[in-house]
Amino acid sequence: MRRLQKVVSGIAFDQGPAQNLDAVVAAAIFAFGFVYIHPFEDGNGRIHRYLIHHVLAMHRFNRREWCPVSAAILDQIDEYRRVLESNSKRLLPLVEWEPTPQFNVLNDTGDFYRYFDATPHAEFLYACVRRTIERYL
Which of 24-33, 55-64, 109-118 reaches the highest mean pLDDT?
24-33
pLDDT confidence band for 97 (50 / 70 / 90): confident
Output the known binding site for ATP. 42-49
pLDDT confidence band for 133 (50 / 70 / 90): confident
Catalytic residue among 38, 53, 54, 59: 38
Distance (Å, whole) CA 59 – CA 30: 13
Specify which residues 97 forms β-bridges with: 105
Active site residue 53: no
Spell out the domain ranges in the chain.
Answer: 2-136
Whether residue 116 has pLDDT greater than 60: yes
Q: From residue 85, how far is each of 80, 90, 118 by CA, in Å?
A: 9, 8, 12
Distance (Å, whole) CA 4 – CA 111: 21
Whether residue 117 has pLDDT greater than 80: yes
Query: How far separated are the first and last CA of the chain, in Å rounded?
Result: 30
Q: What is the pLDDT of residues 73-91, one digit of tens each?
A: 989 999 999 998 988 888 8
Who has greater pLDDT, 49 or 63?
49
* pLDDT confidence of residue 54: 84
* pLDDT confidence of residue 66: 67
Whether residue 64 has pLDDT greater than 80: no
